[in-house]
A = this chain, B = another copy of it.
Amino acid sequence: MALMSKGTVRKKYILEKAALVFMRKGFTSVTMKDIVEECEMSRGGVYRYFSSTKEIFMEIISSENESDYAFLGKHMEKGTNAVKILEMFLQLQKKELLNIEKTIRLAMYEFFIFHRDTMSYVLEQNYTAALSLVSQTLLYGIERKEITGILPNDAEKYANCMIVLLEGLSIFAVSGQISSETIDEQFGLFIKNLVNKKEQHL
């Protein structure tokens, strides 16, 4: 891995600390002062990199989304079985859904309400990136004959389905109405559809 510049390390540190504040307090009630205090840095040290909570928050969302979905890319490079990749990815998502108070999800919904235009833009970017990576994973699996239940033309449709499913489950998780069983059940249905026809042909 390339060494990160001092500036990059600092930025990363600020984002990590700020994420903790957003987890605890949501979005609207968080001030730059809160973040400066959490970082135990000088005011100037934080403002050098970021000028507002909004800017910080948007960067956190994008980098989290990126690192979440980068998982898929990494495993395709390694040549991992496609169904296995998706199962592992969904297990990571499950962990987040069951520990939603340790994520910035609630802050995201709050941000979304108050900065809907900005958020729509960020969400669209994230969504496009996620859709592309999930589609690629499905196509990779079809190519490798690990995913036999869907046709290449349907890959994007199923990718969309997975993303919408995760979004829906996340709302239920935030409202405290989700069990480990429900998540397993829904992820299980999704995976089953990917491999379904294979089983029927056996």
A residues neighboring B (CB under 8 Å): 26, 106, 109-110, 112-113, 116, 119-120, 123-124, 127, 157-158, 160-161, 163-169, 171-172, 174-177, 182, 185-186, 189, 193, 196-197, 200
CB A113 to nearest CB in B, in angstroms, measures 5
CB A63 to nearest CB in B, in angstroms, measures 19
From B113, B171, B174, B186, contact of A110 by CB (8 A): B113
Per DSSP, chain A at the interface is helix
Beyond the given pairs A123-B177, A161-B189, 11 more chain A to chain B contacts, judged by CB atoms under 8 angstroms and listed by A's residue number, are A109-B113, A120-B176, A123-B175, A161-B186, A165-B165, A165-B168, A167-B167, A167-B168, A168-B168, A168-B169, A197-B200
* Cα A200 to Cα B182 with chains together (Å): 28
Closest residue to A201 on the B side, CB-wise? B200
